[in-house]
Amino acid sequence: MPFFAACPKGLEELLANELASLGAREVRQTVAGVHFEGELETAYRACLWLRLASRILLPLLKIEEISAERLYEAVHALAWEEHIAPNGTIAVDAHGVNDSLRNTQFTQQRVKDAIVDRLREVSGERPNIDTYTPDLRVHVLVRGSMAQVSLDLSGGPLHQRGYRRSTGIAPLKENLAAAMLLRAGWPEIAANGGALVDPMCGSGTLLIEAALMAADVAPGLLRTHYGFLRWRGHQPQLWQALLDEAEQRASNGRKADSARYFGSDRDGTVLAAAKQNAQQAGVSGFLTLHHHEVAKTHRPDGFATGLVITNPPYGERLEDNRAAAPAYVAFGELLKREFGGWRAALITSDDALAHAVGLKADKRYALFNGALACTLYRFEVFAARPEPKALPPLSEAAQGLRNRIEKNLKHLRPKLKREGIECFRAYDADLPDYAAAIDVYADHLHIQEYQAPKTIPEDVAQKRLRELVRVAGEVFAVPREKIAIKTRMKRGKLEQYGRQDERGHAMTVSEGGLKFEVNLFDYLDTGLFLDHRPLRAKVRELARGRRFVNLFCYTGAVTVYACAGGAASTASVDLSNTYLDWAERNLALNGLGSAKDRLIQSDAMAWIERDRGEYDLIYVDPPTFSNSKRAEDFDVQRDHVRLLRACAARLAPGGLILFSNNNRRFRIDREQLADLDIRDITPATIPVDFARDPKIHHCFEIRRR
């Protein structure tokens, strides 16, 4: 059977390659499309899997020496009753004009009349018109003295994947975004473990298309309407088999992909749209989005290579392009500063804007953004790095620090290796002159310096910190850019969860065979409490078949363990949407999360007090204190009785509360909780790497008597 795949000009070669990969035969390029042959299955696969096509057409009729009368007669003679029920719905789209057919609306009307008259004569019934989701969409192309009449099997533009609910100004069409990614070499970069960064991401189209491509998700999988679904030639069983195959490939691909898509934009409104679109596409767990200018973008940690690609502002008016020039300059400076060794690409309609980037393009590809002729510029970014200066010898005290860290590692490493632990505490103020904690997160370090006493001069404290950072980097062979440093001090309540930086350096680590996103630079806490590692393992052991609640869920790490342990359902409650989004990404990283796993944005205390559910396992790990404009103040020592009573009221018979907190001076009020069976299990929940600090947290098992 002959078919035709339409596409924007400039994509014909790429589309022909796509069709060949799907098994199409006799593939021939033409202007704005590709002819091909195959069985109906090939056309179905084209509708489902082509990332670049606009429509898939099944030619029915070719009319030479066309006129209005010849068009009507030829269309009327066709056996339309073989294609549509007489009382069905139709739509006709016409393109092109000639001397006889000077108006596309007139052409549409003549073809519609011919089809309606034919069906009325054959059956006594006539179809109705539905321009949105008709049973049959007819495509008419008039070119010179010839007209081609086809069935539109796609039923609507294939670039409309079904995930885009919101957009910004001048949104990029999905098939053009896919073409940019293919021309930039994203499939090869993705296969080699690279990341993708879009510093002007808008509503997220490039990020989402890249994630769908790398995760082997069919671009048409989310579409609910195709033009063949109510066509009389449709084979539902064949189509369902292809859908099932695509669903399985998508499931496998999402499990294999990782959080390696990083987007930012100066417009918070379009970032909200990007988040919504990514959620609809099922890839939000892989995206990290930040609200800032181009210049504040950083290379994501853990990725030596990748692709920086963007659709910066441009247009047809000269004054608009002049206003856009600073964004291109900032983009070029960003590439040279942060992305040496990466590939970059951008699309624009103005050569002068591309020249403002300050890099020489190694490839140029002609593309069309709608009717606007554009060029995709591709760059290989080379950045010279200065030779490091020779460091002075370590002081005697610093050498003592090195010896202590190496001694700790000698003690810890056998157990860490045996249990496959890659995130752990290596040092915690063992020596008074170096009062800091050093945590290892895979190939990164997280150093938390405790605030020096007022008796220690500032210059001495800074010198000790520099020595500690140097020694830690040398012992673990970690470069400085992979070391996050934070100064620990008493913080005001409003600073408790405040953002510390704007680097957007998220990375993925493993624990217990599961994956977690951590951010060592941007927040006071990293997203994974290392001292709670045994508690998370305990939750996985207890969760099978149980209804689980995670109060003050933070980034959802414990919920991931509960899901992995086979929990019947989960409810994760936190006041912060930032943390709930993070929890959603953690679930997605592990191929977990479904309708039974709820992420609830609410004050945890208020939620558990008003909820009327019944739960078998409640994990509650509140902060020492909390102050939010959206909820009443919380203090764990003052409010734990009220909190635990509310949790106990929701326990099913035989249910269990796991209660943990990090207040070193905490004392549980057994007198006011006398009706509950409370067992202190703290010693069993302190991991080996925190053994020097038994007060790092308190943990209790609580049941109703």
Closest by CA position to 378, among listed 204, 181, 212, 196: 181
The pLDDT of residue 501 is: 45
Grouping H, G, I as helix, E, B as strand and the rest as coil, residue 485 is: strand
pLDDT of residue 100: 87
Give dist(CA 97, CA 365) in Å, integer: 30
**Residues 689-703: b if buried by 16+ CB within 10 A, e if exposed:** bbeeeeebbbbbebe
Contact (Cβ atoms closer than 8 angstroms) between residue 634 and residue 675:
no
Return the closest-CA partner of residue 659 out of 687, 690, 636.
Answer: 636
Which among 504, 607, 489, 499 has a CA at the least distance from the CA of 549?
607
Tokens read off for 646: 């509310």
- Return the pLDDT at 370: 85
Q: What is the pLDDT of residue 141?
A: 94
H/E stretch holding 599 reads: strand 597-601
Of 89, 117, 95, the closest CA to residue 107 belongs to 95
- For the chain, domains (ranges, CATH) are 2-152 (3.30.2130.30), 174-215+257-380 (3.40.50.150), 396-490 (3.30.750.80), 507-704 (3.40.50.150)
Strands 423-428, 436-441: pairing is antiparallel
For residue 288, what are its two tokens? 């990290």
* Amino acid 503: pLDDT: 46
In sign, the C-alpha dihedral spanning 595, 601, 607, 608 is: positive
pTM beyond 0.85: the answer is no
Structure tokens that stand for 508 in this block: 């993925």
Strand partners, 147: 63, 142
Question: Is residue 481 classed as helix, strand or coil in its secondary structure?
Answer: helix
Q: What is the pLDDT of residue 490?
A: 43
Buried b (16+ CB within 10 A) or exposed e, 361-387: beeebebbbeeeebbbbbbebeeeeee
**pLDDT tens per residue, range 431-470:** 989 999 999 999 999 999 988 777 888 888 889 999 999 9
Structure tokens at 128: 């109705």
Q: Rounded to whole angstroms, how far apart are CA atoms 279 and 584?
A: 10
8 A C-beta contact, residue 597 and residue 583: no
Residues counted in the chain:
705
In 3D, which of 703, 573, 597 has the Cα closest to residue 651?
703
Residue 505's closest CA among 478, 529, 472, 483?
483
Residue closest to 185 by CA, chosen among 210, 215, 204: 210
| pLDDT at residue number 626 | 82
State the angle between helix axes of 533-542 and 557-564 in degrees (0 to 180), rounded to the nearest 10.
30
∠ CA 239-245-249, nearest 5°, is 145
Q: What is the reported pLDDT for 20?
A: 96
- The stretches in the chain having pLDDT less than 50 are 318, 489-503
